[in-house]
Amino acid sequence: MQVKALACELPTQRGLPLSRFSRDDLAREVVRSGIVASISGTTVWRWLRQDAIKPWYHRSWIWPRDPDFAARAGRVLDLYQGTWGGQALGPGDFVISADEKTSIQARIRIARGSAPSPGHTRRVEFEYDRGGALAYLAAWDVRRAKVFGLCRRTTGIDSFHELVDLVMHQEPYRSADRVFWVTDNGSSHRGQRSADRFSTWYPNAIQVHTPIHASWLNQIEIYFSVVQRKVLTPNEFSDLAEVETRLLAFQPYYESIATPFEWRFTHEDLRRLIAHWREGDQHACAQAA
């Protein structure tokens, strides 16, 4: 128990010049602290593995700073659950999730890669020339599992407007009662001014922002993760035109097999998450004091 407790501390709390513990670092610190006379890194790893404690791993985190986080997140969750303002969405209502995937490079390999064969994996040349980069702007119909997209050299209000036009010029969105656009707070579609532009562009379009630093609430990010895995990895293209061709060709391919994402994060999950953050904030304040 003492070894596991030590592993759940930061090395700097113990005056060590380390950013994280390895299993051997922990073994040395356990001995130095007098917990045991001797111990191996393998034994430490085996004990920690029982409780899935991995102090040698880390992940980046952005602390939530939106004062209206619960309200903003709640509106998005309502749309995913088919309600708005306490009322069920009607057959003339649609929910679109949209964003940009930026800086997609065309890596031109100096030698052609090889296909897999029995006993051999696919091989991709390590060295490459840079063939430029583009942005992929996409919109996902949350309830119908349809995707719309276009590629541009830069992002911005004009490029995003083109994406909105691409969707809203088509049926059933053009004649819809309401089309809710879920977006994050990127510079192309940030704040009330963006929401006002939406209503100017299309009176039946309603922009709904996720909280600041909460793009994970935007379902288009799930689609982008699919694109990254299936289209862009490994990155082996002859030029930007090939990148664009493959991205746009993937859309109808994916639609042919796609179903709406099964969104499981609920209001109850949101309440638990916010409670956890508040506990962490109180703990951080207590440590600072």
| Mean per-residue pLDDT, 89-94 | 98
Tell me what pLDDT residue 185 has: 93
| Average pLDDT value over all residues in the chain | 94
pLDDT at 287: 47
Averaged pLDDT, 148-154? 97
Give 174-212 as a DSSP string: TT-SEEEEEE---GGG-HHHHHHHHHHH-TTEEEEEPPT
- The pLDDT assigned to 3 comes to 96
DSSP for 112-141, please give it.
--B--BTTB--B--S-EEEEEEEEEEEEEE
Average pLDDT over residues 264-275: 93
Question: Are 17 and 32 in contact, with CB atoms under 8 Å apart?
Answer: no
- Dihedral sign (CA 67, 68, 74, 76): negative
* Whole-number Cα distances in Å, 225 to 67, 216, 232: 28, 11, 10
What domains can be seen in the chain, in order of their start residue? Answer: 2-49 (no CATH), 69-255 (3.30.420.10)
For residue 281 the two structure tokens come to: 């904030």
What strand order describes the sheet that includes 93-109?
A: 146-152, 128-141, 93-109, 178-183, 205-209
| Cβ pair 120, 157 in contact under 8 A | no
Q: What's phi and psi for 172, nearest 5 deg? A: -90, 5
The predicted model scores a pTM of 0.85
pLDDT value at residue 61? 77
Percent of the chain with pLDDT over 70: 97
Please, what is the end-to-end C-alpha distance for the chain in angstroms?
27
pLDDT of residue 78 exceeding 80, the answer is yes
The more confident residue out of 92 and 278 is 92
Average pLDDT of the segment spanning 258-271: 95
Q: How confident is the model at residue 285 (pLDDT cuts 50, 70, 90)?
A: very low
> pLDDT for 191-230, tens place per residue?
999 999 999 999 999 999 999 989 999 999 999 999 999 9
The DSSP annotation for 228-271 comes to: HHHTSSS---SSHHHHHHHHHHHHHHHHTT---------HHHHH
Separation between Cα atoms, residue 89 and residue 74, nearest integer Å: 15
The answer to whether 188 and 160 are in contact (CB under 8 A) is: yes
Q: Quick one: pLDDT at residue 282?
A: 52
Q: In which band, very low, low, confident or very high, does the pLDDT at 63 lie, cut at 50, 70 and 90?
A: confident
Residue 65 — very low, low, confident or very high, per pLDDT cuts 50/70/90? confident
